[in-house]
Amino acid sequence: MSSELDVQWRIGASDGVLERLMSAYGVKMQKDLADLLGIAKHSVSGWVQRDAIPGNIIVRCCLDTGADINWLVTGELANANLEYDSSKLKGKALYDEIMGNGGKTVLRRILDAYGFNMQKELGDLLGISSGTISTWVRRDFFPGDVVVTCALDTGVSLEWLATGKGQMRDSKETLATELSIKKSRLESGALKDAGYWHPRSLNDSAKY
């Protein structure tokens, strides 16, 4: 299905993202990756041709293998695995759980992660139409690319964001959460809430 739902946000297959995806799963060939994910081999080839990897695949890989989302998407961190319970769901069972958390459920967590109350605030921030967001709710759609963007943008737990399990932030990020700085934007001569800046983000920006 080709629509604004799956073209609004894209994660490129170039810049090493596909290679890191394969590395996380411990495979060297696209065919082996396709077999692990339970998809047709031409689907992986299609990602390369379109230079777009579905966000759902990135989310699944992180939760499936414990790979760091920032490393997977940007390559900026070492290939370090998170500590996670080996009894957690994997493979198709995990994928089914992720896809079963779409629509209003995942939207509420995305809004909470950004500190927003209104869908319009999220749409304004990411440049997504209100009609598209409403369609997520109506179709119980899981916007994988937006989930990945939100996790990288806010630093919240990807597992919590995608499935609702675990904590929104791990204990090491509690202090940063407490020191969040409220953002505002000028709109029609009035200041409107625009989420929060976190110290982690401010520190990162200071590097450049």
Side-chain half-sphere exposure of 112, counting CA atoms within 13 A: 15
Backbone torsion region of residue 47, taken as left when φ is above 0, otherwise alpha when ψ lies between -120 and 50, otherwise beta: alpha
Q: pLDDT band for position 6 (50/70/90)?
A: very low
* Location of each CATH 1.10.260.40 domain in the chain: 4-163
Of 78 and 190, the structure prediction assigns the larger pLDDT to 190
Q: Among candidates 17, 1, 101, 95, which has minimal Cα distance to 52?
A: 17
* Residue 201 predicted with pLDDT over 50: no
Mean of the per-residue pLDDT values for the chain? Answer: 78
DSSP β-bridge partners for residue 196:
182
The answer to which of 6-20, 129-143, 175-189 has the lowest mean pLDDT is 175-189
- pLDDT score for 91: 75
CB 125 within 8 A of CB 8: no
**Per-residue confidence band for 208, with pLDDT thresholds at 50, 70 and 90:** very low
**For range 73-92, the mean pLDDT:** 62
Instruction: Pinpoint the alpha helices (H) of 127-186.
Output: 130-139, 144-154, 158-163, 174-178
Per residue in 34-55, pLDDT (tens digit) is 999 989 989 999 999 999 999 9
As a whole number of angstroms, the distance between CA 120 and CA 132 comes to 11
Q: Which residues pair with 11 in a beta bridge?
A: 53
For domain 4-163, is the CATH number 1.10.260.40?
yes
**pLDDT for 188 beyond 80:** no
Tell me the C-alpha distance between 28 and 22, whole Å.
6
User: pLDDT of 89-100, one tens digit each?
Assistant: 677 788 888 888
